[in-house]
Structure formats: C-alpha cells, structure tokens
Amino acid sequence: MFSARSLFQEILDNDNSYRLFCSIAASGEAQGGWENGRIAALLPASLRGLAPKVARHGADEDKHGRIFHALMRKRGLTPTTVPEGTDYTMLLERRGIGLAHDKLRRDEPLTERDVITYLAHSRVTEQRAADQMQLLTKHFGDHPELGKAMRMIAQDEDNHLAYCHEELLKLARAGHGRTIQHSLYECARAEIVVYRDVSLAVMDHMGRILRWPRPKAAALAAAIRAVHGYERLAGWRRMVTLTTPERRDPLGGPATSAPEFV
C-alpha cells in the first residue's frame, strides 16, 4: 500500500514532482506574506499594538517562500506554474474565508471585526500548517536536503499558531467571544472542504507526473475523502478551540533569518 512517508519520498525523488511541490508551497507562503504585510499596515487605531506581530508573521511567511525557492535552486530547478485547483489561499478567499484581497489592496483602515476575521482565519489555517509540518518533520527532519528547512518552518508555524491563540483569547476577554467562535466555526467548516479539494488536485497532478497506477491513485483519493469525512464529523473541533499557549508572546521581537537557504 502506501504511507505518508513513502508518498512524499516518491515526490522528493522526482525532479518534476518536487518542483511542483516546492512551487505550490512557495506561492502559498508568498501570498501569506503579502496578506500579513497589508494587514499590518491597515490595522485600526485601537489595535495598532498588533502591528509588529502581524508584520513578523508576514516576514516569516516571506522567508518560507524564499526557502522553498532556494530548495529548488539547489537542484537546478525553476518554479513552475501553480495549477489553479491547488491554490489553497485563493480557494479559501473564493469561499469568503479571511479578508478579501480587494479589501487589502485599498488604503482603508480595517475594523476590529476585520481583525477578528483575520485572526480566526489564521488560527484555522495555521493549525493545518502546523499539523503538516509536524508530519513532515517526523519523517524528514533528519533528511540531508530538507531536514533543516522543515525544522525551521515547523518552529515558525508553531509560533504562528500560538500567537493566534494568544491574541484571540485577549479579544475574547475584551467581549468578542461570540464573534470569535462564530468566525472560527465558519472558517473551519469551509477549510476542511478546501483542504480536501486541494489535496485531491495536488495528488492528481503528482499521480500523472509519477505515473501512479489507477488502483493506487484511487486508493489515495479514497483516503483523502475518508480524512475529510472524519474532519466533517469531529476533526474540525481541534481548529476552533482556544487554549492558553505554552509559548507566550511567540511573535515578539524581529523575524529570524535563514541565510543558509536564501
């Protein structure tokens, strides 16, 4: 059959599938960097104290994008076009999740409700990112080509997730609890659908590149749908709970650099 490790090893061993994987990852991180940069610039006066943390979040995402580009360069690869069906950020926006790019392009201050929407969206998507990086680090944290990058990105994603918990809890204590819970619920329910669709699209492209036999591709698609079934019934709950993080003020201070990659 197949395992997460064996599947990713196949993708890693083939230049074309590895190029697509890194290109998708780099594009998503770059979009996240731009979004956070714009949000930091547009925060309302009542929440301007968040600006350094939001900017740090954006700087980390930009760094991750550069790391994935550097990983491609090490193999002599250049980025490829990201297929539309694999664009996680764009598909979430189309479902009305997070702050629309049109809003972020305007030079109009955001509202406190907008900031809650941003943080709730980030709390859900950073949970996904942290889970994925934990899995990759488990299997490839000691890999000579990928290990250092995976560990660095995983640590940043854990910090981002802790930051979302911390800031949402502060806003809940300030009286926004019901709005936060509604935003988290709506985002989580949409995200699990988008994640399923993106996973199916990515695996379809990888299967064609790697020439997977039809039974293997069908079994993998069935596994992705089974995960979605679990998340639709119960797994989404892990994305909407808020707990005081062990890492306090995780985005305080400047972003860390990654000179060995960039």
* CATH code of the domain covering residue 210: 1.20.1260.10
pLDDT of 111 higher than 60? yes
DSSP state of 109: P
pLDDT of 244 higher than 80? yes
The average pLDDT across 239-261 equals 81
- Domains identified in the chain, total number: 1
Domain that holds residue 17: 4-239
Q: Is residue 246 situated within a structural domain? A: no
Q: Is residue 177 situated within a structural domain? A: yes
Residue 192's pLDDT band, with cuts at 50, 70 and 90, is very high
Displacement of CA 172 from its chain's centroid (Å)? 24
Question: Which residue reads 């036999």 in tokens?
Answer: 213
DSSP 59-93: HHHHHHHHHHHHHHHHTT----PPPGGG-HHHHHH
Q: Specify whether the CB–CB gap between 112 and 47 falls below 8 A.
A: yes
pLDDT of 198 higher than 90? yes
Q: Is residue 43 situated within a structural domain? A: yes
Q: Specify whether the CB–CB gap between 171 and 114 falls below 8 A.
A: no
Q: Is residue 83 situated within a structural domain? A: yes
pLDDT tens, position by position, 119-129:
999 999 999 99
Q: For residue 252, what pLDDT is reported?
A: 82
The average pLDDT across 140-162 equals 93
pTM of the model: 0.93
What residues have CB less than 8 Å from 170, skipping those under 6 apart? none
Mean pLDDT of the chain: 94
pLDDT of 1 higher than 70? no
What residues have CB less than 8 Å from 30, skipping those under 6 apart? 61, 62, 65
Lowest mean pLDDT among 1-10, 41-50, 182-191: 1-10
The average pLDDT across 123-150 equals 93
Could you tell me which of 116, 147, 100, 99 has the C-alpha nearest to residue 50? 116
**How far is residue 218 from each of residues 14, 86, 204, 224, measured CA to CA in Å?**
21, 18, 10, 10
Q: For residue 17, what pLDDT is reported?
A: 97
pLDDT tens, position by position, 38-84:
999 999 999 999 999 999 999 999 999 999 999 999 999 999 999 98
Backbone region of residue 175 per phi and psi (left: phi > 0; alpha: psi in -120 to 50; beta: other values): left
Q: Is residue 189 situated within a structural domain? A: yes
